[in-house]
């Protein structure tokens, strides 16, 4: 690395002229805020200028996003800068979030009849004990919601499931208050209540198929004749009975008597 010496100010009044004493080469150095911060030894301001130069995201925006719950990794990825350059601005905000999560544990859960005498931390620790879970493995966090109110979260693992519960936190006298925001937070506040029963969904009954009509029995010949014959057809007249001559009986012939049979 070569050492340069300051020769003077350029005629444009915006740059400083530097020279390499060995080679007599001259260089122009912009007399900007970054140079002035370096001359003062202001490392914080110098790092801030670097972030503003390399990214369109300003430090105030970085801190606002961290305060809203984003991580350093998420902000760095969005800004396109190394995480180390985001951490210097995120660090005080992360401390603020950690402090609010700690204060929320000392707040009192709000119930139907008013705030609980126990703190949120005490109630949650008892719930974990009832369930046989390790409370020390759970992690607390806090951030500011879109409405400007603080949200406190508790994350833990049950088997292979990642669980999270949320409360709204209102700082105030005697530790402030917290209100459950989801089902998980409600369950932790009421560990002894009867679990919600799952109702089986019964399938809708299918419509029964319509029975096929039974085939009608085939008519007998007599019935078929009646069916084929029109209702108004004239009935056939009975044939007249023929009169045959009476044949005398044998005894009449012998006695000479005419029979009276007709």
pLDDT, block means (10 residues), the chain with 262 residues: 83 86 85 81 76 70 94 89 88 96 97 93 95 93 94 94 96 94 94 60 62 64 53 56 55 52 48
Residue 261 pLDDT: 47
Residue among 216, 120, 218 at smallest CA distance from 174 = 120
Residue among 167, 199, 169 at smallest CA distance from 183 = 167
Q: Is the backbone of residue 121 left (phi > 0), alpha (psi -120 to 50) or beta?
A: alpha
Instruction: Return the C-alpha torsion angle 104, 105, 111, 113, nearest 10.
Output: -100
pTM: 0.56
Residue 12 pLDDT: 81
């Amino acid at each position: 690395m070569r050492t340069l010496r300051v020769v003077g100010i350029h005629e444009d009044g915006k740059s400083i002229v530097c020279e390499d004493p060995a080679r007599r080469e001259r260089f122009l150095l912009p007399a900007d805020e970054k140079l002035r911060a370096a001359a003062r030894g202001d490392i914080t301001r110098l790092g801030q200028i670097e972030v503003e130069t390399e990214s369109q995201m300003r430090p105030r925006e970085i801190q606002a996003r961290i305060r809203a719950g984003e991580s350093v990794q998420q902000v760095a990825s969005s800004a396109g800068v190394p995480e180390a350059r985001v951490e210097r601005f995120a660090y005080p905000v992360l401390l603020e979030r950690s402090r609010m999560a700690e204060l929320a544990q000392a707040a009192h859960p709000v119930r139907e009849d008013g705030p609980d005498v126990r703190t949120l931390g005490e109630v949650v620790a008892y719930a974990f004990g009832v369930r046989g879970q390790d409370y020390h493995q759970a992690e607390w966090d806090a951030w500011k919601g879109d409405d400007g109110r603080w949200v406190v979260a508790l994350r833990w693992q049950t088997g292979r499931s990642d669980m999270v519960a949320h409360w709204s936190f209102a700082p105030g006298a005697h530790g402030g208050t917290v209100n459950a925001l989801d089902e998980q937070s409600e369950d932790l506040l009421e560990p002894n209540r009867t679990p919600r029963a799952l109702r089986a969904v019964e399938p809708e009954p299918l419509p029964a198929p319509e029975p096929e009509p039974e085939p009608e029995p085939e008519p007998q010949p007599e019935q078929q004749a009646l069916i084929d014959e029109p209702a108004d057809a004239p009935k056939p007249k009975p044939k007249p009975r023929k009169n045959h001559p009476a044949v005398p009986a044998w005894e009449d012939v012998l006695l000479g008597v005419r029979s009276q049979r007709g």
